[in-house]
Amino acid sequence: MIVGIDEVGRGPWAGPLVVGAVVLGDAKIEGLTDSKKLSAKRRLELSIEIHEKAAAVGLGWVHADELDEIGISASLVEATKRALEKVTVPYHEIIIDGTVNFLKDTGKGPYVTTLKKADLLIGAVSAASIVAKVARDRFMEEQAKVYPQYGFETHVGYGTARHSAAIGAHGITPLHRLSFAPLHKYRPKHMGEVNNTVTAKQLGDKAEEIVVTFLQDNGHTVLERNWKTKFCEIDIVSQSKDTIYFTEVKYRKNTGQGGGIAAITSKKMKQMKFSAEYFALKNKMQYANMRLAVADVAGQDFLLDQWFEIE
């Protein structure tokens, strides 16, 4: 009886942070994996099945106003606690996707194991990833009916160019996280700074989230993110129709540092080509129609400047 825990909505400019907690028990559910690897239709089908068959399902929500008040780190802790409180069946272990034990300062802390890519490896964590993603996406789809100008049904709150343009034209909504740097200028004067140290990895992850949303909005199915071996790594692998795309994501703090194309030297091209061919070999895709691509994300607003094929 393992409780799997995963979160969704850490990086968007708008909408809630949602943590899922699932105990599968004896339930047998085919196709569980990282929610980002599934189509929206398949996620919904699996979410329904998880709610029907799992021994327990809990969701913990922290909305934008509370997140602004306590910060993202405390919000992750609070949402995790709220999700686990809804699990009323017995269990002997808690597995959290990632490297941070959000329950370390609670009585549940000693029962926690953290594991990178647990949403790929542990069925209960995959299930938690799926139910959290579906719940949040459906919430944002409903909010799109209230605020139709913003396109929440497509980008679900992430910082896309369309979202930025809508904020510029219409201002902010109660869904927006004013403690996030791109929206600081909209904060009321009484709102203090939230001290959230941002690492280079977090910046890169956020840039990748923007690109993933763009690709999905344009009909791609994301097959892999941060695929790594001891020889090489690939930021995003996606498929559109019969073509597989290998996207290198380049983030620049400001556009004056040069766009993504400037970083694609002949040496980098060779590395990308080797990585794509190695991925295809490992996944028995030798005959796939493959393309290399670069995504250029820049600025504090994390705007996707361009995505383009290079081979």
pLDDT bracket for residue 286 (50, 70, 90): low
pLDDT at res. 255: 55
For residue 198, pLDDT beyond 60: no
Query: Do 2-143 and 201-309 have matching folds?
Result: no
Q: Which amino acid is at 292?
A: L
SS3 state of residue 51? helix
pTM of the model: 0.65
Q: Where are the domains of the chain?
A: 2-143, 201-309
The tokens describing 221, both together, are: 């199915």
pLDDT bracket for residue 195 (50, 70, 90): very low
Q: Which CATH code, of 3.40.50.720, 2.40.30.10, 1.10.20.10, 3.40.1350.10, is assigned to 201-309?
A: 3.40.1350.10
CATH superfamily of 2-143: Ribonuclease H-like superfamily/Ribonuclease H (3.30.420.10)
- For residue 87, report the phi and psi dihedrals to the nearest 5 degrees: -90, 110
Q: Distance of CA 242 to CAs 199, 219, 288, 289, Å?
A: 36, 12, 8, 7
pLDDT bracket for residue 256 (50, 70, 90): low
CB 56 within 8 A of CB 13: no
pLDDT at res. 259: 55
pLDDT bracket for residue 299 (50, 70, 90): confident
Q: Which amino acid is at 57?
A: V
